Amino acid sequence: MKKKIFLCTYGCQMNEYDSELIESILTADGFVLAADIQDADIILLNTCAVRNNAERKVFNHIDDIRHELQGKPVYIGILGCVATHLKEQIIKNKKRKIDFVVGPDSYRQLPDIIRKVIKENEKIFDVSLTTKENYEDITPTRKEGINAWVAVMRGCDNFCTFCVVPYTRGRERSRPMENILDEVRSLAAKGHPQVTFLGQNVNSYHDNQFDFADLLEATSAIEGIKRIRFMSPHPKDYLEKLINVVANNPKICKHIHLPLQAGNDRILQLMNRGYTKADYLSLVDKLYSHIPGLTLTTDIIVGFPTETDADFLDTVEVMEKVRFASAFIFKYSERKGTIAAKKYPDDVPEEKKTERIMKLNDLQKRISFEKNRSWIGKTLPVLVESETIAKGATQFQGRSDGYVTVVFPPGNYKAGDIVNVTIQEASSHWLKGIHHTPDA
């Protein structure tokens, strides 16, 4: 009988994409997807190790699963970044009863590993990292929807001192451009009007012949693709050529997620980010002036070791100057094995981290609201994503080019269409409007 798999995914979009790859690898090998945890023979957790609470969530979830199953036998496998981060420790912990641990470069071996675990009842552990694995010949099992994630490169060579990714995902490698374009062509043919290119460091994509700007340009020529997004680029390697392509190509969304992490030069240096506050601000000036209507979003870490109140104010200053449309703000979380964990004690008190994160969240909320309010009265092209219920009434929901959620009444359109919506109302998280003909 075919074995049933239930897969839980945590963390970033790259993990969402990897889960689609994993489903594809397993179903091609005769496994089937279980309807729920109770129905599964094997439970896989595709995990995130970027912050301590992400890791904790995984282990809490395993406890919940065991509780829910009330002794029903099941094999449990840990995949993804926690696998490479904690390695043997996961299996050695007898209480957790994990059967196999498989890192991000070993998913091709999963069917064999699972069979062996079942047949020989032994624990298996494969977290080796390669410099080549790109899964370029595997077509991920896509979820339905407007957007399709496409990993164009994997791994990271930047070694920001706080970050575990270079250790959990290994060295940077890019897929050949033609191989990515084939995937996008097939996505367009299956009705995905939007692709989002993923990479830990997406703008350092290159396949020896073509760079990231070439890839964006070539993708925009594919029929059926209406919008192209990408994340996350690194501020230290922004190229003139890329700015021009984003500015001049109407299919490339005018939204850039540009992780700042911190605004203070000393902290940026300790983080090994490769830019100063002035570099970041001058890049932002350049982006705003070359790309009309550009929206910027960001990631920020508060409470990096030794960050003082005065250092923190530099981050506040950059946020006030740049006016991001939204920001993901995190408390520094020490990750074992990173340079920061080895060199700098986690010395900013928890209360300070809380105070700083609250301050930045409040500031961002105000800025997001002001920015969103400035859209009132304007008409934006919106890519329709889905139906939603708001205050008991059916509404449509989509995203503006700048990635803001827009809600508007139903009309003669469907998911995947681009419609013009005139904005009437705004909050810090969404815009509301009415559909306005003619469609874009």
Measure the CA–CA gap between 437 and 28, rounded to whole angstroms: 45
Number of chain residues interacting with ligand SF4 (CB under 6 A): 10
Site string for ligand 5AD, 163-182 (x = CB under 6 A): x-------------------
Residues 436 and 421: their CA atoms lie apart, in Å, by 5
Among 166, 170, 233, 433, binds ligand SF4 (CB under 6 A): 166
> DSSP letter string over 109-122?
GHHHHHHHHHHH--
Q: Which of 85, 234, 254, 331 binds ligand SF4 (CB under 6 A)?
A: 234
Residue 73's contacts (CB-CB under 8 Å, 6 or more residues apart) are none
Q: Identify residues 239-268 at the interface with ligand 5AD (CB under 6 A).
A: 259, 261
Q: Which of 58, 74, 83, 160 binds ligand SF4 (CB under 6 A)?
A: 160
Which residue in the shown chain puts its C-beta closest to ligand 5AD? 299
Q: In 3D, which of 98, 52, 50 has the Cα closest to residue 78?
A: 98
Tell me which stretch binds ligand 5AD (CB under 6 A): 22-30, 268-276, 325-333, 413-421: 325-333
15 binds ligand SF4 (CB under 6 A): no
Contact between 79 and ligand SF4 per CB under 6 A: no
Cβ proximity of 194 and 148 under 8 Å: yes
Determine the residue type at 87: K
Stretch that binds ligand 5AD, among 201-209, 329-337, 355-363, 421-429 (CB under 6 A): 329-337
The SS3 assignment for 147 reads strand
Cβ proximity to ligand 5AD, 100 vs 344, nearer residue? 344
Quick check: bond before 438 cis, omega within 30?
Answer: yes
Tell whether residue 315 is a contact of ligand 5AD (CB under 6 A): no
Contact status, residue 422 vs residue 436, Cβ threshold 8 Å: yes
Which does residue 158 touch among ligand SF4, ligand 5AD, none (CB within 5 to 8 A, set by kind)?
ligand SF4
Length of the chain: 440
Binding letters toward ligand SF4, positions 193-212, x by CB under 6 A: -------xx-----------
- How many angstroms separate the CA atoms of 316 and 308, rounded? 13
**H or E element at residue 100:** strand 100-102
The strand pair at 405-408 and 393-400 is best described as antiparallel
Amino acid code (one letter) for 423: I
Q: With binding defined as CB under 6 A, does residue 332 bind ligand 5AD?
A: yes
> In whole angstroms, what is the distance from residue 234 CA to residue 184 CA?
24
Closest separation in Å from C-beta 302 to ligand 5AD: 9
The reply to whether 13 sits near ligand 5AD by the rule CB under 6 A is: no
Does 353 engage in binding with ligand 5AD (CB under 6 A)?
no
Write out the residues near ligand 5AD by the rule CB under 6 A: 50-51, 162-163, 259, 261, 299, 301, 330, 332-333, 335
Write out the residues near ligand SF4 by the rule CB under 6 A: 156, 158-160, 163, 165-166, 200-201, 234
